[in-house]
Amino acid sequence: MADLDAIVALDLDLFGPEAWSRDTHTDELCNPFRSYLSVVEDGVLIGWGGVILAPVSDLLTIGVARSHQKQGIGARLLRALLDEAIAGGAREILLEVRADDAGAQRLYARAGFEPIAVRPNYYVATGQDAVVMLKTLQ
Ligand SMILES: CC(C)(COP(=O)(O)OP(=O)(O)OC[C@H]1O[C@@H](n2cnc3c(N)ncnc32)[C@H](O)[C@@H]1OP(=O)(O)O)[C@@H](O)C(=O)NCCC(=O)NCCS
């Protein structure tokens, strides 16, 4: 919760019209069935992400500040979030990613996620499709 303001700002910068409201972020960070991680450098938030703690988990969101992308931070954050999901009892984990976001899909494929379905018009603000990806954890 100490990072709430910075998370709201980073989410808005990265996701624009698809960013969550401040109330949604607050609810998420306070939810005992979630685990959120922050990446902080010199006191500044440069990344964050969260997973559901349940047998079938979900990668809820992940983002790295534009100034710090393509340095391996996203891949490390993803691995840490998968560890959180496993520690929370997850056997598999799902995610949704924009169908036109080849970069994010490569990141997930390298981490062992496989595409299993497409959800048409998943992103309400933009009408874009989502690819659903699945990874078995244990
Ligand atoms: C998706 C996202 C989290 C990835 O974060 P990231 O920190 O850039 O990820 P990584 O650095 O681990 O990997 C990204 C690329 O950088 C490359 N890279 C990693 N370390 C590198 C380095 N030291 N030097 C150069 N390139 C590097 C990776 O090989 C990868 O290449 P690719 O684009 O060919 O796949 C980030 O781009 C982001 O926040 N995007 C906006 C929000 C978003 O779309 N989130 C996902 C929603 S589903």
Tell me the CATH number at 40: 3.40.630.30
So what's the pLDDT on residue 125? 85
- What distance in angstroms lies between residue 69's CA and the mean position of ligand 1's atoms? 5
pLDDT digits (tens, 9 = 90+) for 60-88: 999 999 999 999 999 999 999 999 999 99
Residue 97 CA: nearest ligand 1 atom is: 48
- What distance in angstroms lies between residue 102's CA and the mean position of ligand 1's atoms? 11
In whole numbers, what is the pLDDT of the chain averaged over residues?
Answer: 97
Task: Evaluate whether 47 touches 65 at the Cβ level (below 8 Å).
Answer: yes
Q: Is the pLDDT of residue 138 over 80?
A: no
Sign of CA dihedral 110, 131, 61, 69: positive
Tell me the percentage of the chain whose pLDDT exceeds 70: 100
Dihedral of CA atoms 51, 53, 58, 62 in degrees, nearest 10, equals: 0
Residues contacting ligand 1 via CB (< 6 Å): 14, 62-64, 69-75, 97, 101, 103-104, 106-107
- What distance in angstroms lies between residue 100's CA and the mean position of ligand 1's atoms? 15
- What distance in angstroms lies between residue 30's CA and the mean position of ligand 1's atoms? 28
Residue 68 CA: nearest ligand 1 atom is: 7
What is the residue with the minimal CA distance to atom 27 of ligand 1? 70
Hey, is 98 helix, strand or coil? strand
DSSP category for residue 137:
-
What is the residue with the minimal CA distance to atom 29 of ligand 1? 70
Residues 6+ apart with CB under 8 A from 67: 46
pLDDT band per the 50, 70, 90 thresholds, residue 104: very high
Q: Is the pLDDT of residue 27 over 90?
A: yes
**Domain range enclosing 84:** 2-136
Q: Is the pLDDT of residue 96 over 90?
A: yes
Total count of domains within the chain: 1
pLDDT digits (tens, 9 = 90+) for 8-20: 999 999 999 999 9
So what's the pLDDT on residue 20? 96
So what's the pLDDT on residue 126? 87
Dihedral of CA atoms 23, 28, 30, 31 in degrees, nearest 10, equals: 140
